Amino acid sequence: MSLRIVVTVKYVPDATGDRHFADDLTVDRDDVDGLLSELDEYAVEQALQIAENADDAEVTVLTVGPEDAKDALRKALSMGADKAIHVEDDDLHGTDAIGTSLVLAKAIEKAGYDLVISGMASTDGTMGVVPALVAERLGVPQVTLLSEVSVEDGVVKGRRDGDTASEQLEASLPAVVSVTDQSGEARYPSFKGIMAAKKKPVESWDLSDLDIEAEEVGLDGAFTKVEAATERPARTAGTIVKDEGEGGKQLAEFLASQKFI
């Protein structure tokens, strides 16, 4: 039987753009160009490698996001994923991590899966909790934050480099995996891949397709509320000196004046 891999990918505002908040204190997604979160490219890459090493596998990329999020799916398809699912609904605006995990879990179940692969964190929210939440909802093992991953005979293995130790993990499929940016460079889409992606199927689902009520998600369904967002004041201009042989000493003088030495 074929190995069904679902990769969750997020469409995010470009981190190098001037990101800010909309009037309702949600992330403004209109004024900054969006793209496939770079950290999810690593998830797509590992999914493709696992699929290449399996006898028979199918890689589906899944996103929950606005109309433009299709761009993220196209990118993943041009890297080599087989098909895509876009969950889009006006009522999703403002959904938080708990809500997102609900939508993802329902969509993953509807799609059918043996293995879910996510990125380590989204580059806008940077919470790094959605994969654990999806595992909790699906009731399957979480094998997260892997810098190395492999699948063989229905078992996923990987290495998790933690704060105090590096751990070897193992779980039976079905499971939810997330991979870090240490897992291996993501491939660039080839011209052929980009052309092929145009013909690959992209399904669109809304909340009713997933039996989710509008109140369970969106800004109204959120479990958390941003009450204020203020731009960090620009740091006051510091002193900059050119090293003319005394740079290190000048720096020492500054550090001494600040009582660091």
Partner 1 sequence: MAEVLVYVDHVDGAVRKPTLELLTLARRIGEPVAVALGNGAADTAATLAEHGAVKVLTHDASEYAEYLVVPKVDALQAAYEAVSPAAVLVPSSAEGKEIAARLALRIGSGIITDAVDLEAGDEGPVATQSVFAASFTTKSRVIKGTPVITVKPNSAAVEAAPAAGAVEALSVTFSAQATGTKITGRTPRESTGRPELTEAAIVVSGGRGVNGAENFAIIEALADQLGAAVGASRAAVDAGWYPHTNQVGQTGKSVSPQLYIANGISGAIQHRAGMQTSKTIVAVNKDAEAPIFELVDFGVVGDLFDVVPQLTEEIKTRKG
Ligand X SMILES: Nc1ncnc2c1ncn2[C@@H]1O[C@H](COP(=O)(O)O)[C@@H](O)[C@H]1O
Task: Report the distance separating Cα 74 and Cα 53, nearest Å.
Answer: 23
Minimum CB distance to partner 1, residue 137 (Å): 7
CA-angle at 228, arms to 223 and 234, nearest 5°: 135
Instruction: Please count the other Cβ atoms lying within 10 Å of the Cβ belonging to residue 62.
Output: 27
Q: Does 250 bind partner 1 (CB under 8 A)?
A: yes
Whether the Cβ atoms of residue 130 and residue 248 lie closer than 8 Å to each other: no
Quote the DSSP letter at residue 39: H
Q: In a 10 Å sphere around its CB, with 0-12 CB exposed, 13-18 middle and 19+ buried, how is residue 112 labelled?
A: exposed
Minimum CB distance to partner 1, residue 194 (Å): 26
Q: Which residue minimizes CB distance to ligand X?
A: 119
Minimum CB distance to partner 1, residue 199 (Å): 34
Task: Report the distance separating Cα 73 and Cα 176, nearest Å.
Answer: 20
Of 214 and 250, nearer to ligand X (C-beta) is 214
Whether the Cβ atoms of residue 188 and residue 130 lie closer than 8 Å to each other: no
Helix axis angle, 97-111 to 130-138, nearest 10°: 50
Considering only residues 52, 152, 170, 213, which one is a binding residue for partner 1 as defined by CB under 8 A?
170
Footprint of partner 1 on 62-91 (CB under 8 A): none
Q: Which residue minimizes CB distance to ligand FAD?
A: 38
236's CB contacts (< 8 A; 6+ apart) are none
Q: Does 127 bind partner 1 (CB under 8 A)?
A: yes
Minimum CB distance to ligand FAD, residue 120 (Å): 10
34's CB contacts (< 8 A; 6+ apart) are 11, 12, 13, 14, 68, 69, 71, 72
Minimum CB distance to partner 1, residue 7 (Å): 18
168 binds, among partner 1, ligand FAD, ligand X, none (CB under 5 to 8 A by kind): partner 1
Considering only residues 22, 54, 129, 196, which one is a binding residue for partner 1 as defined by CB under 8 A?
129
Of 62 and 120, nearer to ligand FAD (C-beta) is 120
Minimum CB distance to ligand FAD, residue 223 (Å): 27
Task: Report the distance separating Cα 112 and Cα 131, nearest Å.
Answer: 17
Q: What does the binding site for ligand X look like in residue numbers (CB under 6 A)? A: 8-10, 37, 39-40, 43, 63-65, 97, 100, 104, 118-119, 121-122, 125-131
Q: What does the binding site for ligand FAD look like in residue numbers (CB under 6 A)? A: 38-39, 123, 181
191 binds, among partner 1, ligand X, ligand FAD, none (CB under 5 to 8 A by kind): none
Footprint of partner 1 on 26-55 (CB under 8 A): 39
Minimum CB distance to ligand FAD, residue 14 (Å): 10
- Beginning with the edge strand found earlier in the chain, give each strand of the sheet holding 57-64 in spatial order: 155-161, 142-152, 175-179, 115-119, 3-8, 57-64, 83-87, 202-205
Task: Report the distance separating Cα 156 and Cα 151, nearest Å.
Answer: 4
118 binds, among ligand X, partner 1, ligand FAD, none (CB under 5 to 8 A by kind): ligand X
